[in-house]
Amino acid sequence: AQSVTQLGSHVSVSEGALVLLRCNYSSSVPPYLFWYVQYPNQGLQLLLKYTTGATLVKGINGFEAEFKKSETSFHLTKPSAHMSDAAEYFCAVGRGSTLGRLYFGRGTQLTVWP
């Protein structure tokens, strides 16, 4: 079975500050890991994904995430927040016996203050 925990349903940062959104997962096999972003009234958009290989993954809009197997984590970071980063972020895990389907966390709403 697979599951995802996102710590903090709301995160607020000032513009220019570091963004850190936390994601921990449980998986019985090496997972595929994803971060999606959802802007108001829009569909989910993929930010980045980890499948195999390099554990530090770079995505769009300056985001990156690091797969840490020992910590079962896949935290999302961005060095400097921009106002346009305000959105809801979802971590998701896939693979194992549940080919294709993704398990999503509950989401983290990111607010960026000017």
Partner 1 sequence: GAGVSQTPSNKVTEKGKYVELRCDPISGHTALYWYRQSLGQGPEFLIYFQGTGAADDSGLPNDRFFAVRPEGSVSTLKIQRTERGDSAVYLCASSTELAGGRNEQFFGPGTRLTVL
Rule CB under 8 A: which residues touch partner 1? 4, 6, 9, 32, 34, 36, 41-46, 49, 51, 90, 92, 94-95, 98-107
Which residues touch 42 (CB under 8 Å, ≥6 apart)?
none
Output the smallest distance, CB 82 to partner 1, in A: 23
Output the smallest distance, CB 18 to partner 1, in A: 24
44 vs 86 by CB, closer to partner 1: 44
**CB distance 63 to 84 below 8 Å:** no
CA-to-CA distance for 32 and 59, rounded, in angstroms? Answer: 15
Output the smallest distance, CB 39 to partner 1, in A: 10
Distances (CA, A) of 3 to 27, 37, 78, 109: 7, 19, 24, 19
Indicate the SS3 state at residue 84. helix
63 vs 90 by CB, closer to partner 1: 90
9 vs 84 by CB, closer to partner 1: 9
CA-to-CA distance for 103 and 55, rounded, in angstroms? Answer: 20
78 vs 95 by CB, closer to partner 1: 95
Output the smallest distance, CB 74 to partner 1, in A: 14
